Amino acid sequence: MRGAAIPAPRLHKMPGMLFSAPPKELQGTDHSLLDDKTQKRRPKTFGMDVKAYLRSMIPHLESGMKPSRSKDMLSAHEVLQWSQSLEKLLANRAGQDIFGSFLKSEFSEENIEFWLACEDYKRTESDLLHGKAEKIYKSFVHSDAAKQVNIDFHTRESTAKKIKAPTPTCFDEAQKIIYTLMEKDSYPRFLKSNIYLNLLNDLQANSLK
């Protein structure tokens, strides 16, 4: 399963953070129940979803099929770089998607969704900041948010005040907390997960054919 690396998009930066794509609308349980969530069984369809995704990303070399859009294909070198840092993983659109699937299996996909939302927000034109800030706040930060992220009370209150006169940086404090949470908690587990190791092994094996 071999192909040309996906070109990394141009990204805005904040210390230790990178994002490129706006999030999808999400519905789910409150992140404050994360301890309970981690005890739930992983969806039975998760493995099948991953296999379907990999089949769509990587050509079947044995059958002689050629990818119609080689620029969208992953390479073993590219996937191996994801293990160097969370920043490099999230600089890649495919990396975002696969890491997002992993977080979904752990019932914590709100973290990457919020992070992506913040990056999209920072690229927003000034006259649209207020509406988008309200939407992000209600979706992820408010105490009753459907996808509430795990930030402290002070940061939650501070963010609520900032969005009353929104600027491109009003979510930076909360975004950094969530980045650090993913970096220290979810990312190390992702690198040891079957979803990552199987993808890397398959790509490396096919690169030798």
Question: What domains appear along the chain, each with residue ranges and CATH number?
Answer: 74-207 (1.10.167.10)
pLDDT for 52 equals 56
Structure tokens of 65?
A: 């099929």
Given a contact cutoff of 8 angstroms between Cβ atoms, the answer to whether 126 and 166 are in contact is no
pLDDT digits (tens, 9 = 90+) for 94-142: 999 999 999 999 999 999 999 999 999 999 999 999 999 999 999 999 9
pLDDT digits (tens, 9 = 90+) for 142-201: 999 999 999 999 999 999 999 999 999 999 999 999 999 999 999 999 999 999 999 999
Confidence of residue 51 (pLDDT cuts 50, 70, 90): low
DSSP character for 9?
A: P
pTM of the complete model = 0.67
d(CA 35, CA 163): 30
